[in-house]
Amino acid sequence: MRITKIQGLNFRNYSELNLPVENMINVFYGQNAQGKTNILESIFYAAFGLSHRTNQEENLFKFSENQMMVSVNFENKDDIHFVRIKKFPLANERIKKEIILDDVKVPAREHYGVLNVVMFSPEDLQFVKGEPSLRRRFLDMQISQTNRSYLDLLMQYGKVLRQRNGLLKQIRDGECSEDVLDTWDNEFIRLSTAICEARKPAIEKLQNISGKIHKEISNGESLKIHYVLKGLHREILDGVKDYHEFFEQEVKACRQLDIIRGITNIGPHRDDLLLEINEKSLKNFGSQGQQRSAALALKLSQLEYVKQEIEEYPVLLLDDVMSELDESRRAQLLKFIDGRVQTFITVNDRELIPNVVNGAYYKIENGTVNKV
């Protein structure tokens, strides 16, 4: 997969962006707050319809503007495509979001996974020690890019979870009967089962890929990934034989606590990944270097995972991570992507990325892009 053009209108600090892309490795350098990350964010937004930096899409608008657009032209192994996302005001002053794929308006679910992208940012280096939500997001985005039915499951699960949590609060406050939970519990159990059954083989594949990559970049250390299934009073590693039975038992056992707290305390939104190096917890016992090697291996494994699923590599976005990696890990990363993965890199210091084959360098200054 390869991007051939990036365009933007009133996106972040760009009044107008029109950037033809001809190279496999594209390096954007310059001082902070000049617009380097905004270019990568525009690609991410075109791919997923959301930002990797904010949940508030109004923050994407250039200051004082009320409409914006991002468009990316790209090629995959089958054809040439473009995706365009526009946000503009309606007569009632509400902001409408419109997604266009190859001249056809499409809902978000049909757009997701068409332009395959993997983002690696400094936050990802906190993957091991950070909150479980970081690891769940990593896993969910990896599966969703190549499995649209999984994305549908997540969206349905989110709706059911919000509805169930709302009812739990009403029951706690005496506004409705506990009996109304039965129907929603059945749907919650069904969706939880389906999500975990989809996650299990994805984690097994991720384990196989990341284990091999990690050995190459860490002098033979063994990386192991476990899925942590969380119940009311127990945590189970690497899943169970019957997820439906598990969730039936746990939902029943957890109901009164759920009502007291007004939230759902078990389910795929609470599960986690446990990483081990040489059979020891990486979070508790791993050095910073080991944790960064694992984060790098997992990001590189995302590229291989997508390649195995759709038979071509996704586009890689490296947002200010080179300064966070030592020289050895930078070299390993560049060696891995060389000639096979189209990559967009942001750095403050151009010297962090020496001249590379089929590479292009762009100086970014106050929202202006100059190829050098």
Domain ranges of the chain: 1-116+325-372, 123-313
Determine whether 220 is exposed, middle or buried from the number of CB atoms within 10 Å of its CB (0-12, 13-18, 19+): exposed
Listed residue (369, 371, 372, 342) closest to 7, CA to CA: 369
| Segment 355-372, tens digit of pLDDT | 787 799 999 998 899 998
Find the mean pLDDT for residues 284-297: 90
Fold of 1-116+325-372: Rossmann fold (3.40.50)
Confidence of residue 144 (pLDDT cuts 50, 70, 90): very high
User: With pLDDT > 70 as the criterion, what percentage of the chain qualifies?
Assistant: 100
- Between strands 25-29 and 14-20, the pairing is unpaired
| Segment 331-357, tens digit of pLDDT | 888 888 888 899 999 999 888 887 787
CA 145/CA 314 separation, integer angstroms:
10
Find the mean pLDDT for residues 42-59: 89
Identify the weakest region by mean pLDDT among 22-31, 56-65, 157-166, 184-193. 56-65
> Which DSSP string do the residues of 120-166 spell out, in sequence order?
E-GGGGGTTTS-HHHHHHHHHHHHHHH-HHHHHHHHHHHHHHHHHHH
Q: Residue 291 above 80 pLDDT?
A: yes
For residue 157, what are its two tokens?
């699960």
For residue 94, the model assigns a pLDDT of 86
Confidence of residue 122 (pLDDT cuts 50, 70, 90): confident
For residue 100, the model assigns a pLDDT of 96
| Segment 150-166, tens digit of pLDDT | 999 999 999 999 999 99
CA 157/CA 5 separation, integer angstroms:
36
Task: Map tokens 């990316």 to a residue.
Answer: 72
CA 22/CA 5 separation, integer angstroms:
8
- 186, 145 contact by CB (below 8 A): no
For residue 229, what are its two tokens?
């299934």
User: Same fold for the domain at 1-116+325-372 and the one at 123-313?
Assistant: no
Q: Residue 93 above 80 pLDDT?
A: no
Find the distance separating the first CA and the last CA of the chain, reported in whole Å. 25
Confidence of residue 92 (pLDDT cuts 50, 70, 90): confident
Q: Residue 126 above 80 pLDDT?
A: yes
Provide the 10 A C-beta neighbour count for residue 249. Answer: 14
We find that the CATH architecture of domain 123-313 is Up-down Bundle (1.20)
